[in-house]
Amino acid sequence: MKSLSLLAIILALAACQGAEVAEKFAAQSRSVDSIIVDTLEKVKVQMVKGWPQYGIPPLAPFEIEHKEFDLDAGSMHAKGAVDGLAVHGLNEFEVRVMNTNLILSRLKFEFNFASLNVTTQYKADVGANYRMARDGGAFMALEDLNISGHIKYSTGIVGSNNFLRIKEINVNVVTGNVVSNIENLSKYRILNKKINEIIEEFINLTINDNTEFFADWLDSTVTPICNDLIGERTIKDIIDIITGA
Ligand SMILES: *[C@@H]1O[C@H](CO)[C@@H](O)[C@H](O)[C@H]1NC(C)=O
Ligand SMILES: *[C@@H]1O[C@H](CO)[C@@H](O)[C@H](O)[C@H]1NC(C)=O
Ligand SMILES: *[C@@H]1O[C@H](CO)[C@@H](O)[C@H](O)[C@H]1NC(C)=O
Ligand SMILES: *[C@@H]1O[C@H](CO)[C@@H](O)[C@H](O)[C@H]1NC(C)=O
């Protein structure tokens, strides 16, 4: 979530930097787009180290040494821990669309992640009416993940401060394929495969069937957070933060 909102901020900011330029040169949308793409390329590189001075750990890969979980989904209960969890591919996205319209103060984008995946070891007590102890390795991936949408922004009232304000964030997330490969959910190979298929279907539906819900949630939640984070920083301050300068 943090990385997603960071990305949104980067996009908005890069667009805004362009907007300043465009006040003088109306037809520079295309160069704005290349500023954004350049900034994103720097972000990809910086993701390897993270932004420790702002409390953002390395994101490529993003690693969690140990985390306990306690999931309660009605009659199903799972309590346990993951160890050595790593998220791969956060920095391996392709910018397929980056299109700024300076007149409409709108930025359209589309990113594609070929594979965003998680590997981990897990231990769990899974219980319905009975308890089962489980442990093993787990791999999960979202493949051909498209994140597209637009951001509308304003650059402040002429004559006052040029603080950026994000007015609307619209994001659609669609995944082409989901892979779940969790070992030892059942000691029977065939049943284990079946359970993983159910998980795949569940994740696929959760992502692909809730795009509107997610978009609304993101807009109402993340927009104010972005504006809070931006605060009263100048565009240059924030570009420096993002590029790790
Ligand atoms: C996991 O994601 C990374 C980055 O996208 C990719 O290079 C790697 O092949 C993926 N792993 C698997 C097993 O698909
Ligand atoms: C992602 O977008 C590309 C076009 O940019 C399209 O070819 C592909 O089918 C999309 N994938 C999904 C899962 O919608
Ligand atoms: C977990 O599954 C793997 C691969 O299917 C197997 O090699 C291993 O023995 C299993 N571990 C346990 C504790 O059942
Ligand atoms: C994933 O969900 C979409 C939309 O609900 C559906 O069209 C598609 O067939 C599903 N794919 C898989 C692999 O289940």
18 C-alpha vs ligand 1 centroid, how far in Å? 34
The strand ranges marked E within the chain are 62-73, 76-88, 93-101, 106-127, 131-154, 165-182
Place of tokens 């069937």: 209
87 C-alpha vs ligand 3 centroid, how far in Å? 22
| Ligand 2 shell residues, CB under 6 Å | 96, 110, 112, 144, 146, 174-176
Q: Indicate the residue type of 77.
A: H
* Residue 97: predicted pLDDT: 95
* Residue 141: predicted pLDDT: 97
pLDDT at 1 over 60: no
* pTM score: 0.78
* Residue 159: predicted pLDDT: 47
Token representation of residue 3? 């990385």
